[in-house]
Amino acid sequence: MHIPDGYLGPIFSIGTAIVTVPVWARAVNKVRSVLNNRTVPLLAIFAAFSFTIMMFNIPVPGGTTAHGVGGTLIAIVLGPWAAIIGVSTALIIQALFFGDGGVLAIFANCLNMAIILPLVGYVAYRLIAGNSALLGRRRVLAAGIGSYLGISAAALACGIELGLQPLLFSQNGQALYSPYPLSVSIPAMLASHTFGASLVEALITALGLAYIQRSFPQYLTSLRNIVTGSNVPEGQVTRTPLWQIFGGGMIVALVLLFFAGLVTGGRRIDHLFGADWSGISWSDVGIMLLIVLGIALVLIPFAWFLLPRSIRTVGTFFIAIAIFAPLGLIAPGFAFGEGSPGDVQAAFGYIPAGLQQLNGIWAAPFGDYNVNANFFNDPNAPLWHSALGYEISGLIGVLLIGAAILGIAWLLRRMRPRSGLPDLVADMTNSPAGK
């Protein structure tokens, strides 16, 4: 869903700032009254969470790939305005440092994934949850459904934006930017998400909220008056073990994804989701998995014992996501609307003029999540080279997001005195769940 440069006309791309920038300003104003330097670690953690899961690509119908975002989960815990800031920070860092999404398209990408997604997801969550107990099961169900609708709405917006380009910018019968008409872009974006990425987003959000309810309920209760309303009862946490919730959710998601892939692949295992899996070197995949597993066996226990108790579980979880993110490299194909000019030429027989001029306009220092282009971008290099580059880039990205959030916190402190909200980090450390 990250639109690269060249797929949207510059006027259109920058024009989306008319919506995005005022919403950013409103979000900053709202967040100032909700978060201070004591609660900023939460925003940093969730922004890093969004960044890491956006690196994890999964195969989806149509032979393409997609990813989750996590914006609705942030909105549920910290409020939709904080979600806008957190996801926008992750998207801007992705564009500037990793070339994931165009620099000119930052406003459009933030509009779709950082504004439409969390707002739609949060509103749907609130409507479904009603006045149910804050720590009850209905909230988990509402979170899953809300996040499903939120990311599907963002996909629809992206499909509309791509599909409008041939209508707005064409010359001599050829599109100057995205050549996909509305009749192609909207169904492609909706199919790849409603039958793929939206299921993953719903699973991530529901499991994430269930985990927070059981392990760190103070995250939800301390900001209840601001995020969910003071008339919402706290309730009791479900006694269902987390491993059963997680295991059941994973099984349901895998079964749904498998059958969706089978149906869209003509009921052929080697063409799941309409992609050609026969070209994959499974020996290279096996070596990559062994290397990733070896790194995980070393770094995950190391992180568990090294990290402070207050963030041990969450920090270890994020490190694990970053370590296993290269598994997304196995899926063949690329995300719809994110292909290279060569991919467009193969599909349409020409490269739009605007796409040629704007593609690659910004040279990201870690383009395509490779820390050393000469080494990791070697077309003849084994898959594990790219996997290492992906992992290292992910860790760099998390550090950059942490620095960016600290910068935002500094600005907030300069703009407004402390709000006096409870210190959630201290609460987490002192609570029985945090020990």
Q: Are 43 and 91 in contact (CB under 8 A)?
A: no
Q: Are 135 and 60 in contact (CB under 8 A)?
A: no
170 forms bridges with which residues in the sheet?
A: 175
Cα 247 from Cα 41, distance rounded (Å): 29
CA triplet 67, 68, 72: central angle to 5 degrees? Answer: 160
Question: How much helix, strand and coil, in percent to the nearest 5, is found in the chain?
Answer: 70, 0, 25
Residue 429, Cβ density class (10 Å: 0-12 exposed, 13-18 middle, ≥19 buried): middle
Q: Are 362 and 8 in contact (CB under 8 A)?
A: no
Give the pTM: 0.87
Cα 87 from Cα 27, distance rounded (Å): 12
Cα 45 from Cα 51, distance rounded (Å): 10
CA triplet 364, 365, 369: central angle to 5 degrees? Answer: 80
Q: Is 350 helix (H, G, I), strand (E, B) or coil?
A: coil
Predicted confidence pLDDT, tens digits, the chain (435 residues): 899 999 999 999 999 999 999 999 999 888 877 665 556 778 888 898 899 889 888 887 777 788 889 999 999 998 999 999 999 999 999 999 999 999 999 999 999 999 999 999 999 999 999 888 888 889 999 999 999 999 999 999 999 999 999 999 998 889 999 999 999 999 999 988 888 889 889 988 998 898 888 878 887 877 777 777 667 777 776 666 666 777 777 787 778 778 878 887 778 887 887 778 877 888 888 888 898 898 889 888 988 888 777 667 767 777 787 788 788 788 877 787 787 788 888 878 888 988 888 888 888 888 888 776 555 556 667 777 778 888 888 888 888 998 898 888 777 767 654 444 444 434 433 444 443
Q: Are 23 and 409 in contact (CB under 8 A)?
A: no
| Among the four given CATH numbers 3.90.550.10, 1.10.1760.20, 3.30.565.10, 3.40.50.300, the one describing domain 10-434 | 1.10.1760.20
Helix (H), strand (E), coil (C) string for 125-190: HHHHHCCCCCCCHHHHHHHHHHHHHHHHHHHHHHHHHHHHHHHHCEECCEECCCCCCHHHHHHHHH
Tokens of 165: 């380009």
Q: Does an H or E element contain 367, and which?
A: none
Cα 300 from Cα 297, distance rounded (Å): 6
- Residues whose CB is less than 8 angstroms from the CB of residue 130 and which lie 6 or more positions away in sequence, other chains included: 138
Q: Is 420 helix (H, G, I), strand (E, B) or coil?
A: coil
171 forms bridges with which residues in the sheet?
A: 174
**DSSP letter string over 235-269?**
-----S-HHHHHHHHHHHHHHHHHHHHHHHTTT-G
- The DSSP letter of residue 418 is -
